[in-house]
């Protein structure tokens, strides 16, 4: 085909009418995808200029290349058909003709466009998703085919009296844009200020509190009660430097007397029960109670104090008044490393090494940040680039040989189940992609096995590669501040734990699943989800699993496949052992999507979206050790298998014959790996009628009942 062809959009009836026979013929030949409309409908729509044709010049005449049929009922439009001829596909004509429609409707002050797409048409749904049409609801189709139809919507950038919903493909879960919105505001007790004195025993703890504010972990404030305390404890004739420091911090007034007279006696019974009963509260006790009352009255996150009586009452204060009481000790660095140094092969020549950042690394760290236009002020605060090992944040670097290629700082956050950090990668490095994956994997492994976590990573503006790779991990980009956000679920969501996961999602990030477990129909089935911004959105199970990765929906009705993996390949491929290894990790463990390679006949066993269970087939032990999700499968001639096929697996070309001598190999792409808490032994597989040992030497399909049986034992669900 001529690559120099130019395409243009015809919109007027005089231009479109000559192409009506071609439009009708294309629609009649593609009824399965486009539905059926009588010929008169196309003529009527063309007269009303609701039919666009995309054409290419062939000599002196235009040749039909595709069309767009739509209807309008102000302020909305509805796409009825969109079609591009096979020979012209791959030129972006679908996007081109849709952009023309968007531009026209925007100029006419329309608010949105809708399109109805059959739920089972995977390619069509992917196209509409790419054009910014998010799922709005699901409806039933005609009685003949009984399809489920996804109604998709796109909101136009039209000046409106009411704000648009904010639902978009780039932010499907409705996260807020500002990192500052989640920084907790904490009230300081006077004893923490006094501990700033260099001779105080808790001096380092107090310093850590102020370092945490500089690192944007929290915001600090004081109560006006501090003034009264300082005056009461001041020595005559001496200047108190604490009074000057107190004036530099934001100040919250003590609540009105009518409020404290009611609240303080309630707090006294919790914090100082014996002295409250004996009516013998000291001046310090009353002052402490006023601090607590101030936090509660102004809706602050909580109070930082060293007072043991208040700290011992923290659980009850949280339960009854929803405030946190925090010790300064919580802001100090952990005394033990969270994980050992590790190395990993890379596509670049050098092996990548992940290390705790040291003072000697800081020039390299600042060089990376300087190249990304990070300001010195941001380096000192958010990025902790000048603090050696004294900052309360966790700091790691990636080295390719002797060069630092990436830097990650994780703040010591006080918000429950929330991880906040910043990531920067030298994208000019040959190891940039692998560096990014290694850092994102490190972030993922900081989270608890089964808890719902929210992750927020700031990245500088010149980090296109980082954002691209992060999207594959389920991160959404916040355009306002280049922040990457995601929700991580480290468990399988089943009917048994549905309520627990639902509650934790609400607590962690204001995302709401349906009140009752969903019956699984197929992987592209749409689920109604309450977003963080209060809007409702429809997201497919496949999309939700990608956003919640590695979480999987182990719903009733979902089928799977059981595959064998030899012991020497199991750990390098799955990283399922609970014990940390001192040996370098495999190259495959850098990949979010990994490859399982089997014989040619096994391709019939794999369906996109299946749960894939890995059966470690050793002589001394035979058990299911992990599960994941099938993203796809394909076949390849063994002589044509290349680095891209093998790198995400643990096989080398010379080892391919170990899995059979057949000319073709099946390559299965899998993701969202979850290791079993308790491996499922062969005896259980036999009870579930999954097959005898000799049958499990190749891939075996699993029924929905067998999948549930394995999940119940392997995950205690």
CATH at residue 690: 2.30.130.30
Stretch among 209-218, 306-315, 678-687 having the lowest mean pLDDT? 209-218
Within this chain, do residues 81 and 131 fall inside the same structural domain, yes or no? yes
Predicted local distance difference test score (pLDDT) of residue 180: 46
Confidence band, pLDDT 50/70/90 cuts, at residue 498: very high
Stretch among 135-139, 370-374, 654-658 having the lowest mean pLDDT? 654-658
Confidence band, pLDDT 50/70/90 cuts, at residue 698: confident
Q: What is the pLDDT of residues 208-227, one digit of tens each?
A: 888 777 766 778 888 887 77
Number of domains composing the chain? 5
For residue 508, give its domain range.
492-553
Residue 189 lies in a domain: yes
Handedness of CA 649, 653, 655, 661 (dihedral sign): positive
Residue 191 lies in a domain: yes
Residue 164 lies in a domain: no
Q: What percent of the chain has pLDDT over 90?
A: 31
Mean pLDDT of the chain: 83
Question: What's the whole-model pTM score?
Answer: 0.72
Residue 685 lies in a domain: yes
Predicted local distance difference test score (pLDDT) of residue 162: 47
pLDDT tops 50 at residue 336: no
Q: Is the model more confident about 67 or about 536?
A: 67
Predicted local distance difference test score (pLDDT) of residue 375: 87
Within this chain, do residues 259 and 233 fall inside the same structural domain, yes or no? yes
For 387, the token pair is: 């603090």
Buried b (16+ CB within 10 A) or exposed e, 580-609: eeeeebbbbbbbbebbbbbeeebbebbeeb
Within this chain, do residues 568 and 707 fall inside the same structural domain, yes or no? yes
Backbone angles phi and psi of 580, in degrees to 5:
-70, 135
Confidence band, pLDDT 50/70/90 cuts, at residue 429: confident
Compute the distance between CA of residue 640 and CA of residue 385 in angstroms, rounded to an integer: 47
pLDDT tops 60 at residue 306: yes
Confidence band, pLDDT 50/70/90 cuts, at residue 152: confident
Q: What is the pLDDT of residues 704-714, one digit of tens each?
A: 999 999 998 88
Mean pLDDT across 567-582: 73
For 256, the token pair is: 């009105």
Predicted local distance difference test score (pLDDT) of residue 533: 83
Q: What is the pLDDT of residues 2-41, one digit of tens each?
A: 556 789 999 999 999 999 999 999 999 998 888 888 888 8
Q: Is the model more confident about 35 or about 432?
A: 432
Q: Let me know: does 539 contact 671? Beta carbons within 8 Å.
A: no
Q: Considering 273, 308, 331, which residue would you say is the last residue of a domain?
A: 331
Mean pLDDT across 506-525: 91
Which residues does 603 contact at the CB level (< 8 Å), separation at least 6?
Answer: 633, 634, 635, 666
pLDDT tops 90 at residue 58: no
pLDDT tops 80 at residue 481: no
Confidence band, pLDDT 50/70/90 cuts, at residue 392: low
Residue 194 lies in a domain: yes
Within this chain, do residues 503 and 475 fall inside the same structural domain, yes or no? no
Predicted local distance difference test score (pLDDT) of residue 388: 54
Within this chain, do residues 307 and 359 fall inside the same structural domain, yes or no? no
Residue 56 lies in a domain: yes
- CATH code for the domain in which residue 138 is found: 3.40.630.30
Q: Let me know: does 369 contact 383? Beta carbons within 8 Å.
A: yes
Mean pLDDT across 421-427: 92
77 C-beta neighbours (distance < 10 Å), count: 24
Within this chain, do residues 406 and 266 fall inside the same structural domain, yes or no? no
Q: What share of the chain is helix, strand, coil (3-state, %, to 5)?
A: 35, 25, 35
Predicted local distance difference test score (pLDDT) of residue 143: 61
Predicted local distance difference test score (pLDDT) of residue 145: 65
pLDDT tops 50 at residue 338: no
């Amino acid at each position: 085909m001529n690559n120099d062809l130019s395409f243009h959009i015809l919109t007027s009836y005089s231009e479109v009418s000559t192409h009506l026979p071609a439009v009708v013929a294309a629609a009649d030949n593609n009824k399965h995808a486009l539905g059926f409309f009588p010929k008169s409908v196309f003529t009527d729509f063309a007269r009303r200029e609701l039919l666009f044709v995309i054409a290419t010049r062939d000599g002196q005449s235009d040749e039909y290349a595709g069309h767009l049929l739509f209807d309008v009922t102000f302020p909305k439009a509805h796409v009825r058909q969109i079609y591009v001829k096979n020979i012209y596909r791959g030129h972006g004509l679908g996007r081109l003709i849709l952009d023309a429609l968007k531009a026209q409707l925007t100029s006419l002050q329309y608010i949105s466009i809708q399109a109805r797409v059959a739920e089972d048409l995977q390619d069509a749904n992917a196209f509409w998703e790419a054009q910014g049409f998010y799922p709005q609801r699901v409806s039933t189709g005609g009685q003949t085919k009984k399809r489920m139809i996804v109604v998709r919507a796109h909101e136009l950038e039209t000046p409106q009296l009411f704000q648009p919903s904010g639902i978009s493909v780039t932010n499907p879960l409705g996260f807020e844009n500002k990192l500052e919105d989640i920084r907790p505001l904490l009230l300081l007790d006077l004893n923490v200020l006094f501990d700033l004195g260099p001779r105080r025993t808790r001096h380092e703890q107090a310093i850590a509190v102020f370092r945490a504010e500089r690192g944007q972990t929290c915001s600090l404030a004081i109560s006006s009660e501090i003034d009264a305390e300082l005056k009461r404890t001041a020595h005559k004739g001496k200047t108190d430097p604490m009074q000057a420091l107190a004036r530099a911090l934001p100040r919250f007034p003590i609540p009105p007397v009518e409020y404290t007279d009611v609240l303080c006696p309630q707090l006294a019974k919790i914090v100082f029960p014996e002295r409250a009963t004996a009516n013998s509260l000291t001046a310090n006790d009353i002052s402490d109670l006023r601090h607590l009352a101030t936090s509660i009255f102004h809706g602050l996150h909580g109070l930082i104090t060293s007072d043991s009586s208040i700290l011992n009452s923290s659980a009850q204060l949280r339960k009854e008044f929803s405030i946190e009481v925090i010790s300064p000790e919580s802001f100090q660095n952990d005394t033990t490393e969270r994980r050992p140094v590790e190395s990993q092969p890379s596509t670049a020549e050098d092996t990548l090494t992940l290390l705790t950042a040291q003072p000697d690394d800081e020039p390299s760290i600042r060089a990376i940040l300087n190249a990304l236009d990070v300001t010195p002020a941001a380096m000192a605060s958010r990025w902790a680039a000048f603090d050696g090992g004294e900052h309360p944040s966790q700091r790691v670097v990636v080295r390719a040989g002797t060069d630092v290629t990436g830097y990650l700082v994780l703040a010591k956050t006080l918000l429950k189940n929330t991880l906040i950090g910043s990531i920067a990668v030298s994208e000019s490095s040959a190891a940039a992609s692998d560096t990014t994956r290694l850092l994102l994997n490190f972030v993922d492994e900081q989270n608890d096995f089964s808890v719902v976590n929210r992750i927020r990573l700031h990245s500088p503006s010149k980090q296109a590669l980082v954002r691209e790779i992060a999207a594959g991990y389920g991160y959404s980009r916040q355009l306002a501040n280049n922040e990457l956000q995601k929700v991580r679920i480290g468990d399988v969501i089943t009917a048994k734990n549905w309520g627990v996961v639902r509650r934790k999602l609400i607590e962690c990030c204001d995302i709401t699943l349906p009140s009752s477990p969903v019956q699984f129909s197929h992987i592209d089935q749409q689920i109604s989800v309450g977003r963080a911004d209060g809007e409702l959105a429809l997201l497919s199970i496949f999309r939700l699993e990608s956003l919640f990765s590695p979480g999987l929906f182990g719903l009733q009705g979902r089928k799977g496949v059981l595959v064998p993996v030899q012991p020497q390949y199991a750990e390098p491929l799955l990283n399922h052992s609970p014990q940390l290894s001192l040996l370098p990790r495999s190259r495959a463990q850098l990949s979010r999507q990994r490859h399982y390679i089997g014989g040619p006949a096994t391709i019939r066993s794999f369906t996109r979206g299946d749960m894939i269970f890995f059966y470690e087939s050793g002589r001394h032990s035979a058990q299911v050790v992990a599960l994941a999700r099938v993203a796809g499968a394909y076949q390849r001639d063994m002589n044509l298998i290349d680095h891209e096929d093998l790198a995400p697996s643990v096989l080398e070309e010379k080892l391919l014959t170990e899995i059979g001598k057949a000319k073709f190999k099946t390559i299965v792409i899998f993701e969202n790996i979850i290791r079993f808490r308790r491996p499922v032994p062969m005896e259980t597989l036999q009870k579930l009628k999954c097959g005898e040992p000799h049958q499990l030497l190749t891939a075996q399909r699993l029924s929905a009942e067998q999948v549930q049986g394995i999940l119940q034992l392997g995950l205690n669900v």
